[in-house]
């Protein structure tokens, strides 16, 4: 707000200076015209010039009013003979200045209509002056340095008005396009943020709900015969639900916009150190999982989170479609790339084979995550049975420039 007021104040000062300069210019043209004098007293040049030029000072605050006053003053001064021959076009110079700002602030159709009115009024004033006023003026004492020809003055006025109108309309068009581009970029940023949060929630909720559903099913089947297994299943459900709620609060904390301190709701972002816990959860859901990690290079937090989410979603798919089965998770880290491979052996023979389509939201989310880092992603059934997920995430090593 302060910046806007400063810009407005600067503009008003500039317009005031322009109005003063225009007053001096018009007064000088009236006092020392290139052709015949106006016949009015010399001192009248100053009020006439002020009447025509001072509306420039308010053009930024009231462009319509300023244009009406300046245009009417120029037309009346010309038709009354207050402006001498050869200087009529100068009297319409302030009108052109106001018309520029007017055209830059109103729709093109309205600005074009106003331009037509200004041109018509100026042409009528010039023709009236040359037809009725100029013949009554005394001849110039010396030959005119600028021929008093109405086509010349009319052409200059029309050219100056049209040029300023075009400049103003062009400025308005550029502002409009810049505003549209800014809105488009803002909408795209919002859409990207929504997709990112949707991927986070899908991965967190999908993984935990799959695990909870499996454990709840186990507990329901063995409730009467194996109470110890029921308690173990309920413990897993309790732990999973608590950790899931914590992660959901972290993701939803990204949406906070009230300016409050979010430290109470945010937790550390998952990374490579959390993979063993992820594997442990998968084992408790009936997935005999083996984790192999090679390399100890430090990863950027965004890359570590992406690798964690890809492994999490791959294990969720394996738990949902293949458990109980065997699964291997291999993560290899070097100085510039993270390689991820999750392979399961497929469902047991008595179970219905899982679907092999690649259109699920989980696979789409993993592919989008890899694409964010210009990496590669592939997923599909293996020739010998089972399912394989592979991803490559290139990155710039921590401490080096991208």
Strands 376-381 and 387-394: antiparallel
| 294 beta partners | 332
383 domain-assigned: yes
234 domain-assigned: no
Same domain, 147 and 26: yes
pLDDT tens for the 402 residues of the chain, in order:
556 556 656 777 888 888 888 888 888 887 877 666 666 778 888 888 888 888 888 888 888 899 999 989 999 988 888 888 778 888 899 999 999 999 998 998 999 999 999 999 999 988 988 888 777 776 655 555 555 677 888 889 999 999 999 999 999 999 889 888 888 887 777 777 677 777 767 666 766 676 677 667 767 776 777 777 677 767 767 766 776 676 677 666 656 554 444 444 445 677 888 888 888 878 877 788 899 988 877 788 888 888 888 888 888 888 777 767 889 999 998 878 899 999 988 876 555 555 444 445 678 878 888 888 888 999 888 887 888 999 999 888 655 544
Burial class (CB in 10 A: 0-12, 13-18, 19+), 294: exposed
Alpha-carbon distance of 114 to 374, in angstroms, equals: 54
Q: How many CA atoms lie within 13 A of 323 on its CB side?
A: 24
Largest distance between two CA atoms of the chain: 126
222 domain-assigned: no
Same domain, 49 and 165: yes
Query: Cα 130 to chain center, whole Å?
Result: 55
Same domain, 18 and 165: yes
| 394 beta partners | 337
For residue 89, the model assigns a pLDDT of: 84
For residue 44, the model assigns a pLDDT of: 84
297 domain-assigned: yes
Alpha-carbon distance of 240 to 232, in angstroms, equals: 12
Same domain, 280 and 179: no
Same domain, 287 and 153: no
Domains held by the chain: number: 2
pTM for this entry: 0.54
Residue 14: how many other CB atoms lie within 10 Å: 12
For residue 28, the model assigns a pLDDT of: 84
For residue 401, the model assigns a pLDDT of: 47
Q: Which domain holds residue 356?
A: 274-402
399 domain-assigned: yes
Same domain, 299 and 150: no
200 domain-assigned: no
Same domain, 278 and 149: no
For residue 2, the model assigns a pLDDT of: 57
Q: Which of 185, 210, 243 is the last residue of a domain?
A: 185
CATH number of the domain that residue 294 is part of: 3.30.565.10
59 domain-assigned: yes
Same domain, 302 and 178: no
For residue 357, the model assigns a pLDDT of: 44
Q: Which of 185, 204, 220 is the last residue of a domain?
A: 185
For residue 331, the model assigns a pLDDT of: 92
Same domain, 161 and 296: no
> 125-132: long-range contacts (C-beta < 8 A, 24 or more apart)?
125/74, 125/75, 125/78, 125/79, 125/88, 126/78, 126/88, 126/150, 126/153, 126/154, 126/157, 127/154, 128/78, 128/79, 129/78, 129/79, 129/81, 129/83, 129/85, 129/88, 130/85
Same domain, 173 and 292: no
309 domain-assigned: yes
- Reduce the DSSP state of residue 387 to 3 states and report it: strand
Of how many residues is the chain composed? 402
Same domain, 167 and 278: no
Q: Which of 133, 163, 185 is the last residue of a domain?
A: 185
């Amino acid at each position: 707000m302060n910046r806007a007021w400063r810009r407005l104040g600067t503009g008003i000062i500039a317009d005031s200076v322009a109005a003063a300069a225009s007053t001096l210019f018009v007064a000088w043209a009236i006092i020392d015209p290139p052709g015949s004098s106006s016949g009015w007293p010399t001192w009248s040049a100053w009020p006439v010039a002020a009447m025509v030029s001072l509306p420039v000072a308010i053009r930024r605050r009231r462009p319509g009013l300023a244009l009406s006053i300046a245009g009417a003053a120029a037309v009346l001064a010309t038709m009354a003979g207050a402006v001498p021959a050869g200087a009529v076009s100068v009297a319409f110079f302030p009108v052109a200045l106001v018309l520029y700002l007017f055209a830059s602030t109103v729709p093109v159709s309205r600005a074009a209509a106003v331009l037509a009115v200004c041109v018509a009024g100026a042409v009528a004033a010039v023709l009236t002056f040359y037809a009725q006023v100029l013949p009554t003026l005394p001849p110039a004492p010396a030959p005119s340095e600028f021929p008093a020809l109405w086509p010349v003055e009319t052409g200059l006025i029309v050219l100056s008005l049209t040029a300023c109108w075009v400049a103003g309309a062009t400025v308005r068009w550029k502002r409009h396009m810049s505003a549209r581009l800014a809105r488009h970029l803002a909408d795209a940023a919002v859409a990207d943020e929504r997709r990112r949060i949707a991927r986070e929630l899908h991965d967190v909720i999908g993984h935990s709900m799959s695990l909870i559903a499996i454990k709840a099913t186990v507990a329901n089947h063995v409730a009467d015969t194996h109470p110890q297994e029921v308690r173990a299943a309920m413990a897993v459900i309790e732990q999973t639900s608590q950790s899931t709620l914590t992660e959901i609060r972290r993701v939803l904390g990204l949406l906070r916009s009230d300016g409050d301190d979010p430290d109470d709701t945010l937790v550390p972002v998952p990374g490579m150190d959390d993979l063993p816990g992820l594997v442990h959860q998968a084992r408790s859901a009936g997935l005999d999982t083996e984790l192999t990690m090679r390399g100890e290079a430090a990863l950027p937090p965004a890359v570590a989170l992406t690798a964690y989410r890809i492994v999490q979603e791959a294990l969720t798919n394996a738990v949902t479609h293949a458990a109980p089965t065997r699964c291997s998770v291999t993560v290899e880290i070097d100085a510039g790339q993270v390689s991820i491979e999750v392979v399961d052996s497929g469902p047991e023979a008595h179970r219905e084979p899982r679907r092999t389509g690649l259109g699920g939201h989980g696979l789409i989310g993993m592919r989008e995550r890899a694409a964010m880092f210009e990496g590669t992603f592939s997923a599909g059934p293996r020739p010998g049975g089972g399912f394989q997920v592979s991803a490559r995430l290139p990155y710039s090593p921590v401490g080096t420039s991208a």
